[in-house]
A and B are shown apart, each in its own frame.
Chain A
Amino acid sequence: MATQAERRPHRPIHPLQAFLTAGALPLFVGGLLSDLAYSSNYQIQWINFAAWLIAGAMVFTGFALLGALIGLVRARPRRGWPLLSFLLLLVVFVLGLINSFVHARDAFGTMPQGLILSVIVTVLAIAIVWIGFSSLRVGATK
């Protein structure tokens, strides 16, 4: 995708979309760290933290997904970053939702699936921010 961006520079990421996308990331990271803490020391408060952090991340992800959908509908042509960001956010949203349900289980019933899903969604959230914010640089050096 980066090659495409260089070949035909597109509009930089919208500030609101940047806010939503970047907002989800630290919450997913926090959820992952809390999952790691709970799975190693069984202190129940960590899994409560994880559940709330992931729920918060899902609010950001949900609105970011909506923004990406609007961006995709308005994009000409409908490929490149608008399509990629929408698909990535859709995957994060679906996996994040499953992760929220896993985190609704009681005590260690959340493990190990909760930790595995947290790793996956966190990596994907990093990828979205990385790729999305690369467009800012492309736009600035235009």
Chain B
Amino acid sequence: MNRTVLLSAAAAAALLTACGSDPAPEQYGANPNLPEQERGLVPSMKIADPAPWGDQRPVVPQGYTITAIATGLGIPRQTLVLANGDILVAEGRGGGAPPLRPKDLIAGVIKAKGTTSVKSGNRLTLLRDANGDGVYEGRTVFAENLNAPYGLALVNGQLYVANQDALVRFAYADGQTRASGPPVKVTDLPSQINHHWTKSLAASPDGRFLYVGIGSNSNITERGMAAEVDRAMIWQIDAATGAHRPFATGIRNPTALAIQPGTGRLWAVVNERDELGPNLVPDYLTSVRDGGFYGWPFSYWGQHVDTRAQPQDAAKVASAIRPDYSLGPHVAALGVAFSSPVMGARFADGVFVGEHGSWNRSKPSGYKVVFVPFRGGRPAGQPIDFVTGFRGSDGKTRGRPVGVTVDPRGALIVADDLSNTIWRIAPPRQAPVAEAPSRAGAPVPEGDHPSATPY
């Protein structure tokens, strides 16, 4: 399954890496094998050792092609395909929580080695492929001076952008290449400390509600429970008034949201807690239940108690929902998008998940885009590698996937925040389908894919 040979990178972290074995049981699906909690003195770490792509490219399934449609961006995170085929890219780096303990100083220096050092873009870049040949010759800055924009959604002529501190909107007309003015604030979002700063976003198909994923302010309450007010939850925001209510809670870091075509149900990929060993806790993909509590901080994967969170709350533990589908521990899922038949028969029904990759296990996990097949609207079967090769056989890391978006014209768009690239993966040309040269003739996927909002 793993075509990438994962060799050890000679990072400074090597000194700190415990020699513990990561047997890596296959922990995918509805019933992952959850081992005992491990608490070594120093957590196993393997920090990405960045290298340029050069002539290399990510590896895609046979017959599929991958091209870099934009490079040199200011840390691209999430993308949005607009109705006319234009692609919006949210660029930026947020966070900056102050170090609280001696550990934070040390960990901050080590972890920074595995990420890009370019300046935060704090903008939206628009990419245009006017003639539909897969080459994005047009590139403009759609909006700038935003505050670490991340989640994007377009509904009812409004382009919503989830900055790290507020949900804002721009009026958007088809074909626009630049925002007509500064954004209008819909509502403030919790932003104190902002340990997990990314604000993921999805819009209900009717445009009445917006869903914003707000990550916890800590790994496991080490900044105190007071810092966790309005954190680790998904807000449902009334688009008209900006009023919000918690839609789901205890959901540690919901880094990407998507509305399932057809059912209109909200799904999320969620990053779970660290420092319980290399094989705990699995990051997950789940449908999100209204009013549901997903365990954080008191327990994980249902009723597996985490005693690090004190005082415990037995009633909360009892009410914790088991997520739908384990993606495996520490893969750091940061993107999710529902597929459609334009992606080819094998990848027609399911979701693509962008996995940024681990830093805290000695055998890296993630660093790829996987496809989780669905049957009857539910995940069914093992994840299939869709894009790999972000970690080379030489142990170098050339890219780290974040947001994934399905272009209804027949492509997967992947944002890579290490090489600051947007990748486009296109399925083999289906001979009978005449390729329409004009944008208006773009093939429409089955089902009512809300107008270019896979989020």
Contact = CB atoms under 8 A, between A and B. Distances in A.
Interface string B298-329: 00000000011111000000000000000000
A104 B308 contact: no
A43 B221 CA distance: 11
A106 B311 CA distance: 14
A106 B222 contact: yes
B275 A109 contact: yes
Nearest to A56: B102
Contact of B275 (A45, A102, A106): A106
Given A48-B101, A104-B102, A108-B310, 9 more contacts: A52-B101, A101-B41, A102-B41, A103-B103, A106-B219, A106-B222, A107-B221, A108-B307, A109-B275
A48 B220 contact: no
B42 interface: yes
Interface of A: 42-45, 47-48, 51-52, 55, 98, 100-109
A103 B221 CA distance: 14
B102 A44 contact: no
B100 interface: yes
B311 to A, nearest CB: 6
B224 interface: yes
B3 interface: no
A51 B224 contact: no
A52 to B, nearest CB: 7
Contacts of A55: 102
A107 B102 contact: no
Interface in B91-133: 100-103
B218 interface: yes
Contacts of B101: 48, 51-52, 103-104
Contacts of B308: 105-109
A51 B102 contact: yes
A105 B39 contact: yes
Interface of B: 39, 41-42, 100-103, 218-225, 275, 307-311
Contacts of A47: 222
Contacts of A52: 101-102
State the 6 A-B residue pairs at the shortest beta-carbon distance, nearest first. A44-B224, A104-B103, A106-B222, A109-B308, A108-B310, A101-B41
A109 B275 CA distance: 9
A49 B152 CA distance: 40
9 contacts: A44-B223, A51-B101, A51-B102, A51-B103, A104-B102, A105-B39, A105-B275, A107-B310, A109-B308
Contacts of A108: 307-310
A92 B103 CA distance: 20
Contact of B224 (A45, A100, A102, A104): A45
B309 A100 contact: no
A102 to B, nearest CB: 7
A25 B100 CA distance: 23
A42 B220 CA distance: 13
Contacts of A103: 101, 103
Contacts of B100: 48
A111 to B, nearest CB: 8
Contacts of B275: 105-106, 109
Contacts of A42: 310-311
From A48, A103, A108, residue with most partner B Cβ within 10 Å = A108
Contacts of A100: 102
B3 to A, nearest CB: 35
B252 to A, nearest CB: 13
B326 to A, nearest CB: 22
Given A42-B310, A44-B223, A98-B41, A106 B218 contact: yes
